[in-house]
């Protein structure tokens, strides 16, 4: 039996995580879920948003499924998501972007992957007030981190049948920091002659994504650009409520949806759990449970080819009823 840490988060997190657990159980894969707290629930229980006990559990099992956690805007505690990734050195953020047949969107057949460096850039959190009214925030780019994320992206592409890597940058302006990122990526690219490689300035890449997303395959990003472009990409196929995510390191991996905690609808049984369920699919495949992951994804795709929808997509199904439908499709699929 596999031991997996379950971090439900806050807001709609407990609801959508419970839904994912039910759907995964329907595959027959035996899992012992180990509950752990993060963010607001952890502050209430332990006085800190990132308890040592939670970190220890993830280190011990090497794997976690995580719900959304709230981050105060402009005040309060720092992002616990960023702190978790940095503390556990979950250096690679992986966001596959593939639409569902039946979900109306501007584009057909979108199928790309966002790879994002997870530990540095402006998300290093190094800021200070120079004088009253003037704040400085430092962007950190290192050859080590840039090379490591480039290797991850090229290895992922090579092992998943992808054909091209596009490095995203702003080296025309940030010649030293983004220049170092590109120099590091180019050195790695030379070792993968079977993969096409190109580069795009981030503002042009944003425009190209909404004009013709099919030109992209794997997009390799620094931290901030990857955060922004992954959300943009989600908008091409129906929104953040449909897409999974993973944070992967050498020793641990945490799988989570990228959407927010949506406290305004928490407890109302109207949240769409698809993104967390699909994150569970990524987790199962990471663990070698390929057939189980395929059954769940197949059930979701079969459901979305039908007429029923959750409230966020214009339908009437709540979280619990949607989950029942998917569990039935998994069990009988």
pLDDT tens across 52-67, in order?
999 999 999 999 999 9
Residues 85 and 14 in one domain: yes
Q: What CATH code is carried by the domain that includes residue 16? A: 3.40.718.10
What whole-number distance in Å separates Cα of residue 278 and Cα of residue 242? 8
For residue 136, the enclosing domain spans 106-236
The band of 4, judged by pLDDT with boundaries at 50, 70 and 90, is very high
Q: Does pLDDT of 73 surpass 60?
A: no
Asked if the model's pLDDT at residue 184 lies above 50, the reply is yes
Q: What is the model's pLDDT at position 75?
A: 46
With a CB cutoff of 8 Å and minimum separation 6, the contacts of 175 are none
Q: 3-state secondary structure string, 98-139?
A: ECCCCCCCCCCCCEEEEEEECCCEHHHCCEEEEECCEEEECC
Same domain, 4 and 66: yes
Q: For residue 269, is pLDDT > 60?
A: yes
Task: With cut-offs at 50, 70 and 90, classify the pLDDT of residue 156.
Answer: very high
Specify whether 138 is located in the same domain as 249: no
Tell me which of 168, 203, 236 is where a domain ends.
Answer: 236
Note whether 327 and 301 are same-domain residues: yes
Q: Over range 130-139, report the average pLDDT.
A: 94
- Please give the average per-residue pLDDT across 159-180, as a whole number: 97
Q: Alpha carbon of 155 to those of 137, 188, 216, 285: distances in Å? A: 32, 10, 17, 16
pLDDT of residue 72: 60
Cβ 68 vs Cβ 11: under 8 Å: yes
In the chain, the percentage of residues whose pLDDT exceeds 90 is 84
The catalytic residue positions are 123, 170, 203, 227
Asked if residue 129 and residue 21 are part of one domain, the reply reads: no
Residue 149: pLDDT band with limits 50, 70, 90 = very high
In 3D, which of 207, 201, 237 has the Cα closest to residue 221? Answer: 201
Report the pLDDT averaged over residues 110-126.
92
CA distance 57 to 257: 20
Is the pLDDT at 328 greater than 90, yes or no? yes
206 domain residue, yes or no: yes
C-alpha atoms less than 13 angstroms from C-alpha of 290 in its C-beta half-sphere: 1
Does 80 have pLDDT greater than 90? Answer: no
Q: Which residue has 């080296």 as its token pair?
A: 171
Same domain, 87 and 120: no
Q: Where are the beta strands (DSSP E) in the chain?
A: 2-7, 31-36, 63-66, 92-98, 111-117, 127-131, 134-137, 164-169, 196-201, 218-221, 246-248, 253-256
The confidence score (pLDDT) of residue 78 equals 60
Instruction: Report the mean per-residue pLDDT for the chain.
Output: 94
pLDDT tens profile 236-249: 998 989 999 999 99
Considering the domain architecture, whether residues 123 and 50 belong to the same structural domain is answered as no
Q: What is the mean pLDDT of residues 188-206?
A: 98
- 73 and 128 in a single domain? The answer is no
Question: Same domain, yes or no, for 118 and 207?
Answer: yes
Same domain for 118 and 232, yes or no, is yes
Number of domains within the chain: 2
This prediction has a pTM of: 0.93
The answer to the question of residue 101 being in a domain is no
Tell me whether residue 182 is in a domain.
yes
Q: Are residues 52 and 70 in the same domain?
A: yes
3-state secondary structure of 223: helix
State how far Cα 240 lies from the chain centre. Answer: 10
Sign of CA dihedral 282, 286, 292, 294: positive
- Can you tell me the distance from the alpha carbon of 308 to that of 302, in angstroms, rounded to the nearest whole number? 11
Looking at the structure, do residues 332 and 270 belong to the same domain, yes or no?
A: yes
Pairing of the two strands 2-7 and 164-169? unpaired
Question: What is the rounded (10 degree) CA torsion for 282, 230, 188, 86?
Answer: -70
For the segment 65-94, the average pLDDT, to the nearest whole number, is 81
> What pLDDT, on the 0 to 100 scale, is given for residue 125?
80
CA-to-CA distance for 245 and 289, rounded, in angstroms?
A: 17
**Most confident residue range from 45-49, 82-86, 217-221:** 217-221
Looking at the DSSP assignment, which residues form a beta bridge with residue 197?
A: 165
| Mean pLDDT, residues 9-27 taken together | 96
Binned at pLDDT 50, 70 and 90, residue 297 comes out as very high
Q: Is 222 left (phi over 0), alpha (psi -120 to 50) or beta?
A: beta
pLDDT tops 60 at residue 77: no
Which pLDDT score is estimated for 116?
A: 98
């Amino acid at each position: 039996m596999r031991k997996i840490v379950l971090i439900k988060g806050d807001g709609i997190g407990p609801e959508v995580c419970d839904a994912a657990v039910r759907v995964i159980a329907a595959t027959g894969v035996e899992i012992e879920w180990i509950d752990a707290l993060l963010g607001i629930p952890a502050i209430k229980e332990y006085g800190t948003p990132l308890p040592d006990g939670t970190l220890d559990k993830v280190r011990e099992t090497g794997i976690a499924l995580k719900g959304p956690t709230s981050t105060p805007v402009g005040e309060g505690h720092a992002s616990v998501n960023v702190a978790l990734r940095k503390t556990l050195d979950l250096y690679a953020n992986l966001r596959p972007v593939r639409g569902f047949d039946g979900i109306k969107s501007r584009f057909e057949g979108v199928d790309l992957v966002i790879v994002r460096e997870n530990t540095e850039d402006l998300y290093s959190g190094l800021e200070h007030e120079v004088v009253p009214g003037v704040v400085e925030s430092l962007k950190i780019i290192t050859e080590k981190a840039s090379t490591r994320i480039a290797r991850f992206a090229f290895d992922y592409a090579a092992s998943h049948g992808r054909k091209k890597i596009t490095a995203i940058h702003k080296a025309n302006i940030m010649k030293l920091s983004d220049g170092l990122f590109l120099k590091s990526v180019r050195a790695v690219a030379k070792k993968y002659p079977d993969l096409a490689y190109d580069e795009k300035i981030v503002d042009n890449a944003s425009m190209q994504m909404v004009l013709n997303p099919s030109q992209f395959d794997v997009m390799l990003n620094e931290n901030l650009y990857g955060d922004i472009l992954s959300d943009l990409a989600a908008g091409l196929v129906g929104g953040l409520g449909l897409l999974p995510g993973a944070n992967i390191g050498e020793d641990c991996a945490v799988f989570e949806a990228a959407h927010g905690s949506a406290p305004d609808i928490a407890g109302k049984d109207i949240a769409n759990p698809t993104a967390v369920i699909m994150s569970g699919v990524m987790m199962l495949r990471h663990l070698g449970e390929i057939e189980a992951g395929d059954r769940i994804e197949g059930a979701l795709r079969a459901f979305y080819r039908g007429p029923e929808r959750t409230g966020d997509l214009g339908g009437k199904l709540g979280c619990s009823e949607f989950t029942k439908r998917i569990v039935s499709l998994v069990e009988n699929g």
